[in-house]
Each structure stands twice: as structure tokens, then as C-alpha cells.
Amino acid sequence: MALADVNGDGILDLIAIKEQAPDLAVFLGHGDGTFGPMIRIFNSSPGPVRVAVADLDRNGVLDLAIAESRASAVPIFLGNGDGTFLTAPPLEVVTRQLAVAIADLDADGILDVVTGYCDFDVVEQNVVTVLLRNSDGSLRSRSTTRVGECVNSVAVADVNGDGHLDVVSGNRGGSHPPDYGFNISVLLGNGDGTLRHAAVHPSGVGQDTTSIALADVNHDGKPDLVLVNGFDQDGWALLGQGDGTFTIHQHLLLPGEPKAVALADMNGDGYVDMLVANFGAKTLAVWLGQSDGSFLEP
């Protein structure tokens, strides 16, 4: 699930995965936290689970990258500027993916793709992968970084203030090193597209991190972290300290088995809001953000 203005009207739209279809769905925003009817995007890949949005071909129109759980490729969809998309050549990867994000990890002006995967039987495949792209969209190189277990979600921001983008992964309560007993991994960027393992956060903030998002929710200039836990049916808002670590700020009760979370100012009041997709309840919930980085229950 992602929030972005895919039709260029200045209003945030919703892009979501229909896992059982398996198609993509676009809902054009009204600007007040509500959305219009679904625009279906045909998807030929068998197991889409996550979506990331950015202008991959640098034409001023937003595009999509998909985490594909049943194939070793990242499907790419190029935007038409009206909320519809065209299929483009995928990025080939070594493993299937459960997570995807888009960012310029090597600061060359070309957006790259970050994926995450888990394998309960082959722990060496529990990795975060950085796919560096050429200017024509083709794959230039890939690098992987091990985490403990089951990367369900990834997000990118400069969390330690060194000018290099970093990756945070939300994991399913690790039972393997290097992240045993932890469900949030912080991988600091070196500025060249490679990552180094830096910090982990304990499973006291949930045993099954199904989705994470990064944004400056309290307006202090430091990226903060919000995560949701499907098994525990709750979420947590953690404030970034500017050094790659986070402290707990708010515990959120999220009945309905939360599956995905996104952060953006959905009602134009200047505060970052939280959108939660509940898999069990089959609902979307908007939690309005407050000036201190907390969220109001809908």
C-alpha cells in the first residue's frame, strides 16, 4: 500500500495490492482522506505483496515497483500520468521478495530499488537487497545484507543524519543471528549503495512486524518510524533520535489484523497522518496526526 499523487492533481491517491486477485488497484484521492472508486491495473505476476511509488524513468510521472513473492523479479509499471500504468521490463533478482522500496542509494541521480525477503528453511536468504539501476532502467549491480528472519517490509531515509540514505527493515521476530529476538533492523548506508548492519530494536514492540513506514511525524527534522503488527493487532510510533536509533512514543491498538501502513498528510493540515489497511477486517483506517507525532484513533 502506498500514498502518492499518481494523476498529477496535487491530491494523494491510494495504490494497493489485491493479493487474492492478484491485481493492483488505484483509488484517486479527494483531498479529505477519502478516495474514489477503484481503477484496476492488470498484473500478470502471480504473487504481488508490496508496492513502492516513484518516478523511475524521470519523466515527471510516478511509476510503480512491486514486491513479488512467487517469482525472482521485481515487476515495473510506468505511469501514464492519469492514474493508469503500462507494464515495463522487470528487474531480475536472486530471490523472491516480500518488501520493496525505491530510493537513490548511491547518490547518482538514478532511483534504485530495495527489496527484502525471508525463508524459514534457508536463513541465508533472509536478506535486504539493493538493486542499483542504470539510466535506462536496467540493473547495474546488486548487493545483499543479512538480517535475522523474514523481512516483511522495508523503508528508506537518512536516519543518522550523515547525508547517506539508510534502510530500515521490519522483520518477523528474529530467531536467527544477527538479529535474534529483534524485529526492527537498521542498516546504515555507505553512500555507494552498500549497507552495514548498525542497530536492532527489541521485540517488545511486537512479534510480527507486517509493515513499517518512515516520516518526520513530530516535525523535528529527524525521520520517525511507525510499524504495525498483524499477529498482535497493534502498532507503535517510534521517534527517531537522529543517530539511527528510535524511542517508543505511542502504542496503537489496531483491531482487524493490520497488514500495511502508510504515512502522509492526508487532510492538508500540515501534520503527518497514518493510513492502516486491515486484512482481517477488510477496512482502511485513517489516524490523524498531531503536532507531537502522535495519532488520533478514528
pLDDT at residue 124 in the model? 63
pLDDT tens digit sequence for 202-219? 656 766 788 999 999 999
pLDDT, greater one: 9 or 93: 9
pLDDT tens digit sequence for 46-93? 788 899 999 999 999 999 999 988 888 899 999 999 999 999 998 887
> Measured between alpha carbons, how far is 93 from 73 in angstroms, rounded to an integer?
5
Do residues 254 and 228 lie in contact, with contact meaning Cβ atoms separated by under 8 Å? yes
CB atoms within 10 A of CB 141: 13
Alpha-carbon radius of gyration of the chain: 17
- The set of residues, in sequence order, having a beta carbon less than 8 Å from that of 51 and lying 6+ positions away, is 1, 2, 15, 16, 17, 24, 64, 65, 66, 67, 100
User: What is the residue-averaged pLDDT of the chain?
Assistant: 88
- The set of residues, in sequence order, having a beta carbon less than 8 Å from that of 41 and lying 6+ positions away, is 23, 24, 25, 26, 77, 84, 85
pLDDT at residue 44 in the model? 66
Task: Read off the C-alpha cell for 123.
Answer: 536463513
Report the share of the chain in percent with pLDDT over 70. 89
Tell me the residue type at 21.
A
Mean pLDDT across 225-248: 92
**pTM (2 d.p.):** 0.93
pLDDT tens digit sequence for 184-202? 889 999 999 999 987 777 6
> Measured between alpha carbons, how far is 124 from 37 in angstroms, rounded to an integer?
42
Do residues 246 and 224 lie in contact, with contact meaning Cβ atoms separated by under 8 Å? yes
